[in-house]
Structure 1
Amino acid sequence: MKPALKLVLFMAALSAAQPSFASPDKPSGFSLNEFRIVYPAAQKKGITWSMTNNTGRAYLMQSWIRPVDFATGLPAAEIDNKAPGDAIPMMVTPPLQRIDSGEPLQLRIRLTGMTLPQDRESVFYLSVKGIPSVPGRASQTGGQLVLAVVNNMKLFYRPAGLPEAGVKSAAKQLRFSLQNEVLVVDNPTPFYLNFSQLTVGGKPLAADELRRLVPPKGQQRYPVSAGMRGAVEWQLVDEDSQVTPLQRQTL
């Protein structure tokens, strides 16, 4: 009889909007210091981001910067034959590190070239993949198949000179219009904006649609159901992963 093959799951699933690591309030897995990362241009030597391994085993952590797929709001797919982070003027170190149970992982994110726009934000994902160590007893039970899952945190590069109030102020400046069955959102601010919730006539738009960011000094278009009319109400996710006050506009 063939020995049983055990399946070890590192985390629940791929998460782009919010990582599947444990929160700092319940440090039973991995606790993070930030779910959304803002990199101010004033930090000439880069910024740091950290997490702590509160599990009972060691992990090998791989970290890199990847672009956003603006059609979905999710991380862009990796390109064959290209190393993670190619063509992105940022780097993260260390790219690979083992952390034992109870140990922290501290990453440094640094700008490597001045090619990003200086009148608006740029956005990327910081991807962190953890591969759990396999217990020694695996050899006695026929081995284990270990699955590693990548978790993704939005990373915003914020040039100097942008309004200090940030997303909180930008939430009030959005303007909405209906074009047939499409809700058009105009964003005159220099910030990428991420809706926490968006309703038309009291009916919420689908969560997967709201993954798509509203670009700075640009537009985003969201499909709406036929007959969705009335006031638009919205809240954004701010720099601290908090929800902004409710805003309302009559179409």
Structure 2
Amino acid sequence: MGCLSRLKVALCLCLAFAQAQAGVILSGTRQVYAEVRREITVQVRNDDQQAARLVQVWMDDGDARQLAEHSEVPFSISPPVFRLDPGKSQSIRLAYTREPLAGDRESLFWLNVLEVPPQTRPAQTEAEEERQNQLRFAFRIRTKVFFRPRGLASNAHDAPGQLTWTLHTGKPAVLRVTNPSPFHVTFHEVALVMGGQAVPTEQQGMVAPYASLDLALPPLVQTVPADARVQFQYIDDFGGFSVPRWAPL
């Protein structure tokens, strides 16, 4: 297998690996790009004090399998590839290229940061070299980028208070949350509260602008008292968790 083929295999395999051992970290768990900005800056740091990393950066519009060479989003990134020495940081600039996007709601994109860990020793055989090339491309960070067009009538901080909740019993029972605002709302925790007992949903998730999201409840939830309500926490623009909020059904 040639070097280029091994690289493509390694890039595909990287999507399946966890990033728990990654040396590269980002400033923030999400980015908000206001249309009025010419560009935004994201800091990337090599937290490994011993070894350098080669870093590749690209964006996608929601397909986690999309590689850098197939990315077609209205943003330019500088620099797209760079070396990051031990303990050092690098600023990445994201610039909107002014191609048309929805003007009445946020658009969601994803920032991908792929790091190449160093080889521990020279490969002795072709098979060992191939194995090392795959492992070098094992770690990727993928975070949300919210593009916020100018002129939206409301404020992102007010969006969680505009959500409406309904309960649909069945197999499974689900909490349906409807978002009438132009902003995404990402949940940290959601629970159905009945008689003082909180029953968490089986997942959290994110509800898009002018859309609904169904959150499955445990099978035991089939009958619900009239005074049941929803308790939830959301994630703000800075990646922090809100205080618990309450909402009627």
State if a TM-score over 0.5 links the two structures: yes
Q: Which residue of 2 aligns with 1:150?
A: 140
- Greater share of helix residues, 1 or 2? 2
Q: Which residue of 1 aligns with 2:239?
A: 241
2:73 is the counterpart of 1:65: no
Whole-angstrom CA distance in 2 between matches of 1:156 and 1:117: 12
User: Offset at 1:163?
Assistant: 5.6
Give the aligned CA root-mean-square deviation in angstroms.
2.6
Contact 2:202 2:215 in 1 (8 A): no
User: Offset at 1:113?
Assistant: 3.2
Q: Which residue of 1 aligns with 2:11?
A: none
Q: Report the AA paired with residue 122 of structure 2.
A: A
1:114–1:228: structure 2 CA closer, same or farther, 3 Å change rule?
Answer: farther
TM alignment of 1:44-193, pairs within 5 A: 44=38, 46-55=39-48, 56-68=50-62, 75-78=63-66, 83-86=69-72, 88-135=73-120, 137-139=121-123, 145=132, 146-147=135-136, 148-162=138-152, 165-166=155-156, 168-180=157-169, 181-193=173-185
2:208 is the counterpart of 1:218: no
1:104–1:14: structure 2 CA closer, same or farther, 3 Å change rule?
Answer: same
User: Offset at 1:196?
Assistant: 0.6
Q: Report the AA paired with residue 201 of structure 2.
A: L
Contact 1:190 1:217 in 2 (8 A): yes
What is the number of equivalent residue pairs in this alignment?
216
Contact 1:21 1:32 in 2 (8 A): no
1:199 to 186, 191, 194: 191
Q: Report the AA paired with residue 67 of structure 1.
A: D
Q: Report the AA paired with residue 227 of structure 1.
A: Q
Taking structure 1 as the reference length, the TM-score comes to: 0.76
Whole-angstrom CA distance in 2 between matches of 1:84 and 1:204: 39
Contact 2:24 2:115 in 1 (8 A): no
* Aligned partner of residue 169 in structure 1, secondary structure: helix
1:176–1:62: structure 2 CA closer, same or farther, 3 Å change rule?
Answer: same
User: Offset at 1:235?
Assistant: 0.9
Identity %: 28
Q: Which residue of 2 aligns with 1:26?
A: none
Contact 1:21 1:30 in 2 (8 A): no
1:248–1:228: structure 2 CA closer, same or farther, 3 Å change rule?
Answer: farther
Taking structure 2 as the reference length, the TM-score comes to: 0.77
Larger Rg computed on CA atoms: 2
1:248–1:104: structure 2 CA closer, same or farther, 3 Å change rule?
Answer: same
Whole-angstrom CA distance in 2 between matches of 1:170 and 1:198: 16
Gaps of 5+ in 2: 1-13
User: Offset at 1:173?
Assistant: 1.3
* Aligned partner of residue 216 in structure 1, secondary structure: coil
* Aligned partner of residue 83 in structure 1, secondary structure: helix
Q: Report the AA paired with residue 158 of structure 1.
A: R
